[in-house]
Amino acid sequence: MSPRLLAAVVCLAACNQVFALEPTISTDAQTVDIDLDNDSIADALDNCIDAANTSQTDEDGDGRGDACDNCPLIANFDQADIGDGDQIGDACDPHPLGPADCLVLFDSFTAPDPFAQRWQLEPPTTTRVTATEGSITIDAIGVTAGIFSQEVSSDGDMQVKARVLASSISISVAAIGRGAVSTGYRCILNRVASGYISNLQIFDGVNGAQSALNPLVPEPVGDHVFLRVTSQLDVAHVPMCRVDYGGAVGAGSFGSTVQIPTGRFGVLVGQSSVELQAIAVYRPSPGTCPTTMN
């Protein structure tokens, strides 16, 4: 064997070790990191393969990222949208059998900075609202305080995921007009200091507080509540309220037609401290849905 050939054989045996090279000769497609939406998350790991979402946030923990989840606040693993095919999942669709709806506002409060652009404080000068990464805390011990959206719809459905921090609570999900918060309508969840839900009230600017909705079975409340107010198009704008807490659900509708406000939706808290984790607002969809704020 010539000296040159001997050197080549030795190198073939040892060069990979000398240069710490890995034997990576493969063009197999399975070894290539495909990233269709170019968000730096490989499709094999991406919870939205066709929507750029580097943050991968998944508010409801159902494996679908918020950016592509057809119900971002409700775990719906099957993503079923059988009723009307409007891309709003059956589990959260204000009108699951039609007409079509749009998601016009979704905020999981991942960034404090845009908060001031999307939400107004109530009252405007309150210091009881604190925006942090991932949540909004409303400290309303001794006062009433809250947040309201910019105008997003003249009719719609608001869904709120919250965590109660204090033992007593009055939390409202509301749709209001441009004027005072007494306009429009509210669904009010009351909880007494013993830690039991007392009732779910409805309130509108014309009739004031109405009787409690369907009686709620008293039971200890978990840390989390899910509140929802819906204006039902199919029954002449009679709003509905719904609350899910622990293992129980309370729901009911207003007794009469309520004047539809101009389109701000919000949350008011009284005598309690509440952490808002995410809010979604839907509206009926004549035409193209706007870009969602999130």
Q: Which residues bind Ca ion (CB under 5 A)?
A: 37, 39, 46, 48, 53, 58, 60, 62, 64, 69, 71, 76, 81, 84, 86, 88, 93
Phi first, then psi: what are they for 104, rounded to 5°?
-105, -15
CB of 80 or CB of 166, closer to Ca ion: 80
Between CA 189 and CA 186 the distance in angstroms is 10
Between CA 86 and CA 96 the distance in angstroms is 9
CB 158 within 8 A of CB 172: no
Min dist CB 115 to Ca ion, Å, is 22
- Residues 6+ positions from 225 with CB-CB distance below 8 Å: 162, 163, 164, 171, 189, 243, 244, 245
Min dist CB 242 to Ca ion, Å, is 17
CB of 66 or CB of 275, closer to Ca ion: 66
Three-class SS of residue 16?
Answer: helix
CB of 82 or CB of 209, closer to Ca ion: 82
Specify burial of residue 292 (Cβ count, 10 A radius: 0-12, 13-18, 19+): middle
Min dist CB 65 to Ca ion, Å, is 6
CB 261 within 8 A of CB 227: no
Min dist CB 182 to Ca ion, Å, is 33
Min dist CB 64 to Ca ion, Å, is 4
CB of 81 or CB of 107, closer to Ca ion: 81
CA distances from 122 to 146, 147, 201 (A): 5, 5, 20
CB 156 within 8 A of CB 264: no
Specify burial of residue 102 (Cβ count, 10 A radius: 0-12, 13-18, 19+): buried
Min dist CB 272 to Ca ion, Å, is 27
CB of 2 or CB of 38, closer to Ca ion: 38
CB of 60 or CB of 204, closer to Ca ion: 60
CA distances from 188 to 162, 211, 244, 261 (A): 14, 11, 13, 17
Min dist CB 273 to Ca ion, Å, is 27
CB of 85 or CB of 247, closer to Ca ion: 85
Three-class SS of residue 143?
Answer: coil
For residue 284, is the peptide bond before it cis, meaning its omega torsion is within 30 degrees of 0? no
Min dist CB 240 to Ca ion, Å, is 17
CB of 53 or CB of 294, closer to Ca ion: 53
